[in-house]
Amino acid sequence: MLDLQTLPADTLSDFRRDGAVAIRNAFSPGWLERLRQGIDKATAAPHPNVARHTKDPDAPAYLEGYWLWSEIPEFTDFVHNSPCAPLAAQLLGAPSVNLVMDNWFLREAGSTSRPPFHQDLAYFDFEGTMCVLWLPLEPVTRDNGIAFVKGSHLWDKLFMRVRFADGHASMEPQTVNGKTYHIPPEITPETHDLLQWDLALGDCIFFDMRTLHGGLASVTPTETVRRFTLRMTAPDGMIRYRGDWAKDERAQFEAAGYREGDRIAGDFFPQLWPR
């Protein structure tokens, strides 16, 4: 698939209206294999940016890794050379796109863990026009994929960070710098209009950083499944303090010299498009 793939106008309008869209055949098999190789390397040895969200150490694991793009060559190649950034630029209507964060998830066969409903924006000290690529490395059905609350990016509401560990404990509502963070509502197909898709290999989802999303299904995978995600920003992306819950992530970019109010740009947050 060419980097300069032009998205149809209805895809762009759906993204603005709904907060999430599926894009078919966006990534070639070679890119998927590169990401699988990268995740294998990331899980081969302990790393402070790789977390296990399954409480029982003997149970099949639910793993997550982040900010490894500069350490894993396969991830470096993907963020700089795959179609991810030109697609994001079109969806955001942005003249340029910078990387915010790479992120991946691995759910071992037999794992009963699933992601809670949450809003990415409130997890980190970032603010601006941002989107997320969600790219499965195995085929996905509606029963084992992610559900998105249609239009929730337009609610003008912030939600507290929800722990991905088993039990999905959420903090109490808080007000930080004049902004109130609420407990995410209970999400069911009966109470909310949800977006869900079957995805073949190479298909992906892009969603707004403000869109509520999570796992509904209790389907237990019979084989290991992996998802790779990227958060990307338009030029208005800035560092904005959210709360103490983001202190571990904040410490990493502060160590690189970034402070409150700085643009999401530079070596830690490289420009991906134009190349």
Per residue in 158-201, pLDDT tens?
A: 998 887 654 555 667 788 888 888 988 889 899 999 999 999 99
Q: Is the pTM of this model over 0.85?
A: yes
Pairing of strands 20-23, 204-208: antiparallel
- The residue ranking higher by pLDDT, 89 or 162, is 89
Pairing of strands 62-66, 97-107: antiparallel
- CA distance readout (Å), 120 to 7, 15, 47, 223: 24, 16, 22, 27
Tokens 């040895």 correspond to 45
Share of the chain above pLDDT 70, in %: 92
What mean pLDDT comes out for the span 111-130?
85
DSSP letter (8 states) at residue 264: S
| pLDDT over 60 (residue 88) | yes
177: left (phi over 0), alpha (psi -120 to 50) or beta: left
What mean pLDDT comes out for the span 112-136?
89
| pLDDT over 60 (residue 202) | yes
What mean pLDDT comes out for the span 25-33?
97
